[in-house]
Homo-oligomer: A and B are copies of this chain.
Amino acid sequence: MGRHREFDVEKVLDAALCVFWRKGYEGASYADLTEAAGVERPALYSAFGNKEALFRRALDRYYERYMDFIPEALQLPTSRQVAAHILYSAADLHTRYPGHTGCLGINGVLAGSDEAEPVRQVLIDARAAGEAQLRERFERAKAEGDLPETAKPDALAAFVMAVSHGMAVQAKAGFSREMLQAVTEQALSTWPTDSST
């Protein structure tokens, strides 16, 4: 019973996601969000709670819809393919939409006022979770002989993430996709090979 919701929650979430992607958490105001979503302020509050909750929902959606290349990559047969898929996909994602370049997780709250600390922590945790998955995948690769005994899975995972994050920063600075692909190729040229093969 009661009145029906007149807007599409998913569409509003997509609109909010784009605004946060472009302006970051603190840089995005409710004026920006309502304009992008075409929905009045109180509707956003009643549907999502406060700004932090809205950002978290947008972040979840970001991982679902745009970071799906991570689980894809983890299932590839060799560690090199895993790294290559992640880096090429990141280069693509960070330059795909001229309106919001770079990475939501990084643009979101690298720095900001103390009030944004909880949000910052959420993003740090999300990054750490991704990196942990990658490290485990590389540990498996080492056990399987795909990576040499001398390989350090934690360093390799951190390296792949660092290059990906660095490309996100560069994308925000206006780098072309081709340049980011060249960066990816240079990064992959350092990939260790199993010397016994």
C-alpha gap A161/B114 in the complex (Å): 29
Query: How far is B167's CA from A175's CA once the two chains are assembled, in angstroms?
Result: 18
> How distant is the Cα of A106 from the Cα of B103 in the complex, in angstroms?
13
Chain B: minimal CB distance from A122 (Å):
12
Interface pair A159/B183, CB less than 8 Å apart: yes
Are B155 and A162 in touch, CB under 8 angstroms? no
Question: In the complex, which residues 17-59 of chain A have their Cβ closer than 8 Å to any Cβ of chain B?
Answer: 22-24, 26-29
**Residue count of chain A within 8 Å CB distance of chain B:** 51
Oligomeric state, in number of copies? 2
**A156 to chain B: which residues have CB within 8 Å?**
186
Shortest A107–chain B CB gap in Å is 4
Q: Are B170 and A158 in contact (CB under 8 A)?
A: yes
Within 8 A of B (CB), among A159-197: 159, 161-170, 172-175, 179-180, 182-183, 185-190, 192
Closest 8 CB pairs of A and B: A162-B166, A166-B166, A24-B111, A155-B182, A107-B111, A27-B112, A165-B166, A159-B186
